[in-house]
């Protein structure tokens, strides 16, 4: 299947489709915010319809496809990346699920021939009001997850570093093999192997997906979480990514659990510093990370 890249113009709801190889679903970060940037993972032809399938989450809106010839087909359930939009009136319209698919129904089956490698097409999108959703829609679609605290994502990237090739775990000298921004599992949950590679765009997409899917939900269950500012949430996101999403309340994390439960912020730095794997080769690096997390929390 050939990947399809759907580029977004930040000034208008007007998109350009470039069909080319070696493009993947991803998120792009501009000026610290996740902007609308859509990458659809590939297409196939079936009975005069174009099916674009991707592991990316999707948004609910409709559009008219403006082909070189006047086909003018309507499209719904278009796959989109999670959105951070400065326009609050738009936020209510975005919907997401872990996976999605769109069907571009072509009134003329020959229209599929337009979607060839190297061709460019334009799509003009209009967001669908929530009141137009059916009961089936509301059962499937859910709001985009709460925005990840960017300071935490930045801290994770700073300490994990980007590695395009899978490498042995620094502590075990073997499995689990790690790649990208400290990822030990693929999107489907399987482990990486030596010899596996990843691009920076793929690693960015994987990091955001895993943070929103696997780490943010457990953190949001911490009673004090809604009261924390973005720096405090970011510090805990980095801590969780390094030591486990479900650390709160776990047997080996009584101290930091108590500090968070009782909101003893004067003890947060000493609590962070308890989790450095003392006596190991990674102690010094983990100590620097815990200190950075504490500084961010108290910033």
Among 116, 143, 170, the domain-final residue is 143
Pick from 2-6, 49-53, 148-152: least confident: 49-53
State pLDDT tens for residues 7-18. Answer: 333 322 223 333
Arithmetic mean of pLDDT, 80-107: 28
> Looking at the structure, do residues 169 and 126 belong to the same domain, yes or no?
no
Which among 95, 110, 143 is the end of a domain? 143
Do 201 and 237 fall into the same domain? yes
| Burial status of residue 92 (CB atoms within 10 A of its CB: 0-12, 13-18, 19 or more) | exposed
Residues 126 and 154 in one domain: no
More confident of the two residues 255 and 108: 255
Assess whether 180 and 135 both reside in one domain: no
Q: What is the tens place of the pLDDT at every residue in 126-147? A: 323 333 333 332 222 223 334 6
CATH label of the domain that carries residue 238: 1.10.530.40
- pTM to 2 decimal places: 0.54
124 and 244 both lie in a single domain? no
Q: Looking at the structure, do residues 126 and 170 belong to the same domain, yes or no?
A: no
The residue from 117, 143, 169 where one domain ends is: 143
Residues 162, 200: contact at Cβ < 8 Å? yes
Q: Based on the domain organization, do 101 and 182 belong to the same domain?
A: no
User: Domain check: are 111 and 188 in the same one?
Assistant: no
What's the domain range around 171? 150-297
208-223 pLDDT per residue, tens = 889 988 999 999 999 9
What is the residue whose two structure tokens read 């174009």? 50
Look at 51 and 110; give whichever has higher pLDDT: 110
Q: Could you write out the DSSP letters of every residue in the chain?
A: -EEEEEEE-SSSSEEEEEE-SS------EETTEE---EEEEEEEEETTEEEEEESS-B--EEEEEE-SSS--EEE-S-B------S-HHHHTT-EE-SSEEEEEE-SSGGGGGG--TT-EEEEEEEEPPGGG--HHHHHH-EEPPPPP-HHHHHHHHHHH--EEEEE--TTTSSSSPEEETTB-B-TTSPBP-TT-B--HHHHHHHHHHHIIIIIHHHHHTSTTGGGS-HHHHHHHHHHHHHH-TT-TT-GGGHHHHHHHHHT-GGGHHHHHTT-S-TTSTTHHHHHHHHHHHHHHHT-
- State the total domains in the chain: 2
Tell me: do 289 and 209 sit in the same domain. Answer: yes
166 and 264: one domain?
yes
Is the same domain home to 36 and 94? yes
Same-domain pairing of 196 and 267: yes
């Amino acid at each position: 299947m050939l990947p399809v890249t759907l580029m977004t113009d930040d000034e208008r709801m007007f998109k350009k489709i470039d069909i080319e190889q070696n493009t993947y679903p991803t998120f792009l970060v501009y000026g610290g915010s996740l902007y609308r940037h859509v990458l659809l993972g590939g297409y196939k032809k079936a009975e005069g319809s174009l099916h674009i399938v991707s592991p990316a989450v999707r948004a609910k809106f409709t559009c008219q496809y403006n082909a070189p010839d006047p086909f003018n087909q309507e499209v719904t359930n278009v796959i989109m990346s999670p959105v951070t939009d400065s326009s609050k009136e738009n936020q209510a319209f975005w919907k997401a699920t872990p996976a999605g698919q769109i069907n571009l129904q072509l009134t003329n089956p020959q229209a599929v021939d337009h979607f060839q490698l190297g061709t460019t097409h334009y799509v003009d999108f209009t967001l669908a009001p929530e009141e137009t959703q059916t009961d089936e829609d509301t059962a499937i679609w859910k709001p985009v997850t709460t925005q990840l605290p960017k300071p935490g994502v930045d801290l994770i990237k700073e300490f994990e570093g980007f590695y395009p090739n899978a490498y042995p775990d620094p502590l075990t000298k073997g499995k689990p093999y790690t790649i990208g921004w400290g990822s030990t599992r693929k999107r489907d949950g399987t482990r990486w192997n030596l010899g596996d590679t990843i691009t920076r765009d793929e690693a960015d997409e994987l990091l955001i997906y895993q943070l929103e899917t696997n780490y943010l939900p457990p953190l949001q269950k911490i009673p004090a979480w809604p009261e924390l500012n973005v720096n405090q949430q970011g510090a805990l996101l980095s801590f969780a990514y390094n030591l486990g999403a479900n650390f709160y309340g776990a047997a080996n994390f009584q101290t930091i659990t108590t500090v968070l439960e009782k909101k003893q912020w004067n003890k947060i730095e000493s609590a962070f510093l308890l989790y450095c794997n003392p006596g190991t080769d990674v102690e010094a690096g983990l100590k620097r990370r815990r200190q950075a997390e504490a500084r961010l929390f108290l910033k």
